């Protein structure tokens, strides 16, 4: 009975991994019931390993682990969804890496967050389905507006779930409803000021009506509603710029996956 109590089974998405020793691999995963975990896969870099294919990056996997002193040991693993279409597209790989890096950066060890788990799986499924859909069409363009909207929607909902939700509906200083005019953004505060409070405030910049509309819409709607949204490229680029700088301000560091995505775009 004591041995049984030292094992547990859960689902996870593999966020990142690193090689360890001659044949092992340390994996950082996010789970629905145990939050972020760091575990070791013994011998999974061997060509004969049965677990290796089930523990690739971004894989949705069910595993059995045994508690140990340094890292818990993965003893069994079975892929639930490998997102195989996603893996054939460089742009989608870059976006999945970005999503995984953000989930990793914004979570602490063993800090359970079921809603964040649901968000992570939803985005990976959408990226995978988007690539599959493009492969079934004559036009084989990579990425596109749809995935850009998905990434911006993900960023906003991630910020909300981890306690850094920007305020886009009321002036962060006076509390008044923001009107459909040019308001003022403060990246440092992660929120918007009305013209009266923000125009002469240091560190603010004008934010256009259409940009604020898109930010509000993405923040307040479920993906089932947002999925069909069409946004002009100039507006979407401005939204992307605002959200990226907001994330960097919160994290106080750059994101490694962004350089890869920019390289793919070029």
pLDDT exceeding 90 applies to what percent of the chain? Answer: 83
Q: What is the pLDDT of residue 135?
A: 73
pLDDT digits (tens, 9 = 90+) for 80-126: 999 999 999 999 999 999 999 999 999 999 889 999 999 999 999 99
Residues 25 and 99 in one domain: no
Name the domain count of the chain: 2
CATH of residue 65's domain is 2.40.50.140
Residues 68 and 125 in one domain: no
Region 150-160: mean pLDDT is 97
Mean pLDDT of the chain: 92
Give every CB contact of residue 152 below 8 A, 6+ residues apart in sequence: 214, 218, 236, 239, 240, 243
Is a pLDDT exceeding 80 seen at residue 265?
A: no
Is a pLDDT exceeding 60 seen at residue 171?
A: yes
Region 195-218: mean pLDDT is 96
Residues 111 and 68 in one domain: no
Domain of 6? 2-81
Residues 220 and 99 in one domain: yes
Residues 62 and 120 in one domain: no
Neighbouring-strand partners of residue 27: 17, 39
Looking at the whole model, is its pTM more than 0.85? yes
Q: What is the pLDDT of residue 97?
A: 96
Q: What is the pLDDT of residue 137?
A: 63
Residues 171 and 256 in one domain: yes
pLDDT digits (tens, 9 = 90+) for 227-261: 989 999 999 999 999 999 999 999 999 998 988 78
For residue 119, give Cα distances in angstroms to 122, 123, 162, 212, 260: 5, 6, 12, 23, 23
CATH of residue 134's domain is 1.20.1440.120
Residues 71 and 148 in one domain: no
Tell me how long the chain is. 266
Q: Give the model's confidence band at 1: pLDDT under 50 very low, under 70 low, under 90 confident, else very high.
A: very low
Residues 206 and 115 in one domain: yes
In whole angstroms, give the CA distance from residue 71 to residue 57.
18
Residues 155 and 56 in one domain: no
Domain boundary among 32, 47, 81: 81
Is a pLDDT exceeding 80 seen at residue 139?
A: no
pLDDT digits (tens, 9 = 90+) for 43-66: 999 989 999 999 999 999 999 999
Is a pLDDT exceeding 80 seen at residue 145?
A: no
Is a pLDDT exceeding 70 seen at residue 142?
A: no
């Amino acid at each position: 009975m004591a041995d049984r109590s030292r094992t547990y089974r859960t689902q996870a998405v593999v966020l990142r991994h690193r090689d360890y020793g001659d044949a092992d691999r340390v994996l950082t995963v996010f789970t629905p019931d145990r939050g972020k975990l760091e575990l070791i896969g013994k011998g999974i870099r061997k060509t004969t390993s049965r677990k290796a294919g089930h523990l690739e990056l971004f894989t949705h996997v069910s595993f059995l682990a045994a508690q140990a002193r340094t890292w818990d040991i993965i003893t069994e693993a079975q892929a639930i969804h490998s997102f195989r279409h996603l893996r054939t597209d460089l742009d989608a790989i870059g976006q999945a890496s970005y999503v995984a890096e953000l989930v990793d950066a914004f979570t602490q060890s063993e800090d359970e967050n079921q809603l964040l788990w649901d968000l992570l799986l939803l985005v990976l499924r959408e990226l995978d389905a988007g690539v599959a859909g493009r492969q079934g069409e004559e036009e084989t363009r990579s990425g596109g507006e749809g995935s850009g909207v998905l990434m911006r929607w993900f960023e906003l909902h991630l910020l909300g779930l981890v306690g850094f939700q920007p305020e886009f509906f009321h002036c962060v200083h006076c509390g008044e409803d923001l009107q459909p005019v040019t308001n003022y953004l403060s990246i440092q505060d992660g929120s918007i000021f009305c013209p009266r409070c923000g125009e002469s405030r240091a560190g603010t910049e004008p934010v256009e009506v259409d940009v604020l509309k898109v930010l509000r819409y993405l923040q307040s709607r479920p993906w089932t509603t947002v999925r069909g949204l069409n946004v002009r490229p100039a507006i979407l680029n401005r939204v992307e710029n605002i959200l990226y700088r907001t994330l960097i301000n919160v994290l106080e560091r750059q994101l490694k996956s962004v350089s890869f995505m920019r390289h793919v775009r070029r």
